Homo-oligomer: A and B are copies of this chain.
Amino acid sequence: MNTFLEYLNRYIQLTKEEETKVLSVLQQRSYLKGQYIQQEGDIYRYQTYIESGKVRTFYLDDNGNEHIITFGLKHWWVGDIGSFTSQSPAHFNTQCLEKTKVIQISYEDLEKLYNEVPKIERFFRLIIQKAYAKMSKRIVQNYSLPARERYLLFCEEYPEVVQGVPQYMIASYLGITKEFLSHIRSQLSKEG
């Protein structure tokens, strides 16, 4: 839990008292590979922070195809923000890709915490601003770059994901088929 406070400390400075209040609402939980933190149709009742491990958040379309919205690594917050915010059924699934430890704050606890420790409101504002900017960048890349370039950028930016995750999931994240990603990779390796 203390590493969590250190992490918070990068964004906001809390007094001892405030730290205690924050700690009192944190819930720790562990998942095995393949387990779901949340599933489509559920209401996302927790903000979930990844202490260790790796997850993916994905969406199943009408044809049953998976589309990975985002991966989640250490220090990331994951879930379906739309569902959490409005406490309505989620469209997304969040599944662990390996043994994963998370810290969660329930919706009710967080609402209280916002009032008791307004700095937490600032913290989440900053976090989501960052996430928003990152997602805008992704939209830009998807529109202006071909699959091959997107893959190369992804490898640069998320080497930990490229290593530890099946290729077909990376293809899904990039918005292409696994066959085409395989093709791109074989091209790249031929070129040296």
Interface residues of A (CB under 8 A from B): 59, 61-62, 65, 67, 69, 80-82, 85, 91-92, 114, 118, 121-122, 124-126, 128-133, 135-140, 142-145, 175
Contacts and interface: CB of A to CB of B under 8 A. Distances in A.
Nearest to A114: B122
A125 to B, nearest CB: 4
12 contacts: A61-B145, A67-B144, A80-B136, A91-B140, A118-B118, A118-B121, A121-B122, A125-B128, A135-B136, A139-B142, A142-B142, A143-B175
Q: Which 7 pairs, one residue from A and one from B, show the smallest C-beta to C-beta distance?
A: A82-B133, A61-B144, A125-B125, A118-B118, A67-B143, A121-B121, A143-B175
A120 to B, nearest CB: 10
Contacts of A137: 82
Q: Chain A interface secondary structure, helix, strand, loop or mixed?
A: helix
